Amino acid sequence: MITLYGIKNCDTMQKAFKWLDAKKINYEFHNYKELGINKATLELWLKHFPTDKLVNTKSTTYRALTDAEKASITNKSKAIALMMKNTSLIKRPVWDLGDDKFFLGWDEKEVSKLF
């Protein structure tokens, strides 16, 4: 089963939902704005994605961080703490395709190759 992680009202997430629904692909949605995200999940993702890719440095939330907080993103444990505290910092969507396979973001062409 595919698990899609993100925030329900995000435009990028809406594209992913519509694409999955149109292809009739079953998935679970983990809304980390409501449910939060745990340290173990973030640690797993950071085995697959570099910190500077998992943290959405273009987000309003990132821009609101202090310079010290932005600089701390290079430290995995500090980045994890920031993402747990501010889930909007996490790039969306994170695709858990099962079997330790993950994809980050939305690119219809690339996502199509995965299915």
Domain ranges (residues) in the chain: 2-114
Stretch 80-104: mean pLDDT: 95
Rg over CA atoms, the chain: 14
- pLDDT tier for residue 115 given thresholds of 50, 70 and 90: confident
Of 2, 10, 46, 84, the catalytic one is 10
- The model's pLDDT over 29-71, given as tens digits with 9 standing for 90+, comes to 999 999 999 999 999 999 999 998 999 998 889 999 999 999 9
Q: Using CA atoms, how far apart are residues 68 and 79, in angstroms rounded to an integer?
A: 12
CATH number of 2-114: 3.40.30.10
pLDDT for residue 1? 87
CB pairs under 8 A, 24+ apart, for 23-31? 23/115, 25/115, 26/1, 26/2, 27/1, 27/2, 27/3, 28/1, 28/2, 28/3, 28/4, 29/3, 29/4, 29/5, 30/3, 30/4, 30/5, 30/6, 31/6, 31/7
Sign of CA dihedral 44, 50, 51, 55: negative
Cβ contact 16:61 at 8 Å: no
pLDDT for residue 35? 94
Say whether 10 is catalytic: yes
